[in-house]
């Protein structure tokens, strides 16, 4: 970088770049409907919601990647006490 540029460095493009990188990495997580985690989330939500009321935000799917093993963590919060519906034989 020349002395001139260093003295008057007031460029805006690096800021644009940084803001976009932060924003898009967030939006891709929230909106990205195509990656493994969000399709897992959608499928789990559909299955659970068939039986107990459950909202999208209450299904959390996390993946800890590693070798030799990865951990897929699925957490589903359901409001209230769930009725199990097991009929007990008398």
Partner 1 sequence: MAKIITVTSGKGGVGKTTTTAAIGAALARTGDKVVVVDFDVGLRNLDLIMGAERRVVYDFVNVIQGDARLPQALIKDKRLDSLFLLPASQTRDKDALTEEGVDKVIGDLSRHFDWVVCDSPAGIERGATLAMRHADIAIVVTNPEVSSVRDSDRIVGILDAKTLKAERGETVDKRLLLTRYDAVRAARGDMLKTEDVLEILSLPLLGIVPESSDVLKASNMGVPVSIHEPNSAPARAYHDAALRLKGEEIAMEAPKQRLGLFGKFLRRAA
Which stretches of the chain bind partner 1, using CB under 8 A?
A: 2, 4-5, 9, 11-14, 16-17, 19-21, 23-24, 27-28, 31-34
Q: What angle do CA 88, 89, 90 make, to 5 degrees?
A: 110
Q: What is the smallest separation between the CB atom of 73 and partner 1, expressed in angstroms?
A: 24
Residue 73's beta-bridge partner residues?
62
For partner 1, give the closer residue by CB, 10 or 67.
10
Q: What is the smallest separation between the CB atom of 17 and partner 1, expressed in angstroms?
A: 5
Nearest to 45 by CA among 60, 27, 63, 65: 60
Half-sphere exposure of 31 (CA within 13 A, CB side): 6
For partner 1, give the closer residue by CB, 21 or 53.
21
């Amino acid at each position: 970088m020349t002395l001139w540029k260093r003295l008057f460095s007031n460029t805006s493009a690096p800021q644009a770049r940084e803001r976009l990188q932060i924003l898009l990495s967030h939006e891709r997580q929230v909106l990205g409907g195509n990656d493994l985690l969000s399709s897992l989330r959608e499928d789990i939500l559909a299955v659970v919601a068939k039986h107990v009321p459950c909202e999208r935000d209450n299904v959390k799917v996390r993946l800890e990647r590693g070798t030799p093993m990865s951990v897929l963590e699925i957490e589903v919060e359901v409001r209230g006490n769930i009725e199990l519906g097991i009929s007990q034989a008398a």
